[in-house]
């Protein structure tokens, strides 16, 4: 797979000579690290990762923010550095996937942040890659602007499903099916909004199954919402601006460092137990 080569490149980038990506860190950050017990070598490692991010056009604020977060939580410097390596790797991979969907800098930036946030929320790299593959299969049949909007809404939907506790596999299965069923960006957004409304009050697994069954009947977009409301589950709940993990707002994915805080500055980093940085989900078989 082409992404395996990129994964190897990531490993090389994280281990290159300090001189390659040398940058001058903010003196305030350096002082904070030294006060918190960072060794000169650890400060250099942080400097290298910030420099690598800058060199590759990645959001350096995501790296710097994790340092301050870890220091505030009084996390051991070694664990902070380890968490930074995971965050850096995740952004590199997310932006690489984004670059296959758009070559425009602004679009790549937004998509890269959204894909990365999805992986931080629990979407595995394998599932993120498969969703990108599903989108690429649609690209030839769509105008460029329409395709970007679909790609954006698809990855936002996957991010939000995972943020609300849906498994990576179930998320990729349903969202990938929606792409194959020729959902438009508006259809995808309607499904995302519907899940935001009903997912807070219903079993997420049953809701995902209902959406999948509705798709098999040829339903899309707002028809999915009507299908759900008519299923005898007690009428429509309140608004969709759910507080807590995720919400439906797109704001924040255009900025840097929107990594959901799951690395905790190095404290107990495990991508919320969903394997978001694992090489794959370990399942076989194709999509249906």
Q: Cα–Cα distance between 87 and 256 in angstroms, integer?
A: 12
pLDDT tens digits for range 126-171: 999 999 999 999 998 999 999 999 999 999 999 999 999 999 999 9
120 near 112, Cβ under 8 Å?
A: no
The model's pLDDT over 89-131, given as tens digits with 9 standing for 90+, comes to 999 999 999 999 999 999 999 999 999 999 999 999 999 999 9
User: On the CB side of 4, how many CA atoms lie within 13 Å of its CA?
Assistant: 2
List the domain boundaries for the chain: 144-247
Pair 126, 167: CB distance under 8 Å:
no
Q: How many angstroms separate the CA atoms of 284 and 135, rounded?
A: 21
CA dihedral (64, 70, 74, 76) positive or negative: negative
Distance CA 107, CA 178 (A): 22
| 233 pLDDT above the threshold of 60 | no
195-206: string of b/e by CB count within 10 Å (b at 16+)? bbbbbeebebee
Residue 12 makes CB contacts below 8 A (sequence gap 6+) with none
Percentage of the chain surpassing pLDDT 70? 70
Percent of the chain beyond pLDDT 90?
59
Residue 149: which of 117, 179, 116 has the closest Cα?
179
- The answer to whether 10 and 49 are in contact (CB under 8 A) is no
- Calculated CA dihedral for residues 160, 165, 168, 171, nearest 10 degrees: -50
Is there a contact between 137 and 151 (Cβ–Cβ < 8 Å)? Answer: no
**Distance, CA of 135 to CA of 125 (rounded, Å):** 15
Tokens of 49: 């990762």
Give me the chain's average pLDDT, please: 79
Tokens of 234: 């007690």
Give the 3-state secondary structure percentages of the chain, helix then strand then coil, rounded to 5: 65, 0, 35
50-64, 110-124, 196-210: which has the highest mean pLDDT? Answer: 110-124
Q: What is the pLDDT of residues 64-87, one digit of tens each?
A: 999 999 999 999 999 999 999 999
Burial label for 192, CB within 10 Å (0-12, 13-18, 19+), is: buried
pLDDT beyond 70 at 11: no
Q: How far is CA 24 from CA 94, 96, 193, in A?
A: 26, 26, 43
């Amino acid at each position: 797979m082409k992404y395996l080569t990129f994964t190897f490149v990531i490993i090389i980038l994280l281990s290159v000579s300090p001189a390659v990506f040398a940058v001058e860190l903010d003196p305030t950050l350096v002082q904070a690290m030294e006060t918190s017990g960072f060794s000169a070598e650890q400060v250099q490692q942080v400097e290298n990762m910030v420099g690598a991010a800058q060199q590759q056009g990645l959001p350096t604020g995501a790296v710097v923010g994790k340092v301050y977060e870890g220091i505030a939580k009084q996390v051991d410097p070694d664990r902070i550095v380890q968490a930074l390596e995971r965050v850096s790797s995740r952004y590199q991979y997310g932006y690489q996937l984004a670059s296959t969907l758009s070559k425009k800098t602004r679009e790549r930036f937004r998509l890269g942040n959204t894909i990365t946030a999805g992986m931080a929320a629990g979407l595995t790299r394998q599932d993120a890659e498969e969703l990108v593959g599903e989108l690429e299969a649609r690209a030839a049949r769509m105008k460029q602007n329409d395709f970007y909007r679909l790609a954006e809404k698809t990855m936002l939907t996957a991010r939000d499903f995972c943020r609300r506790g849906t498994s990576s596999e179930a998320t990729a299965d349903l969202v990938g099916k929606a792409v194959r069923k020729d959902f438009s960006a508006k259809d995808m957004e309607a499904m995302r909004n519907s899940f935001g409304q009903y997912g807070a009050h219903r079993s997420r697994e049953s809701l995902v199954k209902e959406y999948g069954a509705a798709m098999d009947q040829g339903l899309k977009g707002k028809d999915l919402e009507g299908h759900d409301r008519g299923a005898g589950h007690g009428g429509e709940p309140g608004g969709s601006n759910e507080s807590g993990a995720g919400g439906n707002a797109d704001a924040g994915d255009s900025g840097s460092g929107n990594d959901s805080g799951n690395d905790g500055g190095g404290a107990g980093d495990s991508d919320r137990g969903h394997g978001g940085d694992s090489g794959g989900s370990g399942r076989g078989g194709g999509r249906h």
